[in-house]
Amino acid sequence: MAMLPPPVPGQVSAPVAPRPPRSKLRWVTLACAVGLIAWVGGFAGALLGGEVADLLDKPPTRPSDEPLDVASPRPGFETRLDVAQVSQFVAPSTVTVSADIGRGVSLGTGVIISSEGEILTNAHVVDGATEIRVRLAGETEPREVNLLASDVGNDLALLRMAGDGFEAATFADPTSVRIGDEVVAIGFALGLDGDPSVTLGIVSALNRSVGQGDVFLDGLIQTDAAISSGNSGGPLVNAAGEVVGINTAVARDTTVFTATNVGFAISVEEALPIVETLRLAAQGIEREEAFLGVGLEDRIDGGQGVIVTGVEPGTPAEEVGVTVGDLIVAVDGAATDGSSGLIAAIRDKSPGDEVTVAIVRDTEAIELDVTLTARPG
């Protein structure tokens, strides 16, 4: 038992306060502990709540599993397109896209394709971007988005913003797109302030092909609706406000050719399956491109087909006997009018797919069944 020290001579000892009962000490200690725990818990909860709120505001990194809205086939349109009505109908599904690339900003347009914030645009608009933002109709501030997946070869990219309840565009049935249909191109041409630009035209041609660099597009819609820089990734829509294509390119004047009102949109027939491959790619399931193994050269005499200038050893083309000088005129019954179209048609296939290649060799028509492999590299 502890003893108190003896009093020092000449000092008066102060009275010693009696100790509280042990039971009271326990309750005081317990109350302090509970208070401390509650304070720490509240502080941690506030921090965690803030982090959760920040997390919820961040754009998702995974795609939606919401089915795309595709309209039923249409027999045609009996009345002319009402530009004001159509543009007003599509406006909530059209966004402006701005991407920081290097020291500059790339501007384009996008289409909301799901109520959960997925946006479709051109890959060349966001290629190499360090940050991407979109601005919705009627809003003044941009929203941050994530790039889920990009297909540079087909010039389409899938973005997603946070939130839900967005108004998704309706795609036209691929069989409902016809030459002569009136269409409007909607987009933020030249990045001009305010509402998007709207231009009226018709479907001038179907199944066009263009190629440049690593981008080879086929199944394109040609239109005379004016398409300018900033329109890229925006919708080309019909009289019902259904998206028939994604505006992607415009023919330009050169020293050899003159172009007037010749624009191109990735057709809904091409875009719909690409969206699904982009969703898979966003989940880590990359699509392999198919490979034939030939060198090509376009004809300059005005005839149809593509000239084979080389056959790589050990490739599907060599295995079935394709030779230099053969003229490839069709793949699976679809006519081949240029090297861009043939390359795009093969790339759209998957390794292991079997295609029928129609060739002309010394005036003899030959059909070869080829099993494609994966593109090297």
Active site residues: 124, 155, 232
Buried b (16+ CB within 10 A) or exposed e, 187-222: bbbeeeeeebbbbbbbbbeebbbbbeeebbbbbbbb
Q: Please give the Cα distance from 340 to 124 (Å, whole number).
A: 18
Q: Please give the Cα distance from 206 to 215 (Å, whole number).
A: 19
3-state per-residue secondary structure call for 1-12: CCCCCCCCCCCC
Give phi and psi for 97, each to the nearest 5: -120, 130
- Name the one residue in this structure whose structure tokens are 């050719």: 257
